[in-house]
């Protein structure tokens, strides 16, 4: 879970540090990428915890 938070932090900082010229276009592109990868990471960690719960149950 800590590695997920670290990757999320890196993604957020990637969208924060922007060049001054044409920043809005680059920001839009990175934010879309950020949202997509964020959804992927949350679903992935959710599946991981779900698998862990079923493994503990058996």
* 5-36-33-38 Cα dihedral, nearest 10 degrees: -10
For the chain, what are the domain ranges?
9-46
Q: Is the dihedral of CA 26, 12, 10, 19 positive or negative?
A: positive
Q: pLDDT of 1-58, one tens digit each?
A: 667 777 776 666 665 544 555 555 555 555 555 555 555 566 666 666 666 655 554 4
Q: What is the pTM of this model?
A: 0.23
Residues 57 and 44: their CA atoms lie apart, in Å, by 20
Give the model's pLDDT for residue 4.
Answer: 76
Write down the pLDDT at residue 58. 44
């Amino acid at each position: 879970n800590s590695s997920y938070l670290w990757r999320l932090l890196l993604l957020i900082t990637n969208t924060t540090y922007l060049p001054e010229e044409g920043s809005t276009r680059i920001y839009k592109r990175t934010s879309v990428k950020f949202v997509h990868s964020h959804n992927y990471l949350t679903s992935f960690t959710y599946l991981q915890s779900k698998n862990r719960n079923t493994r503990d149950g058996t």
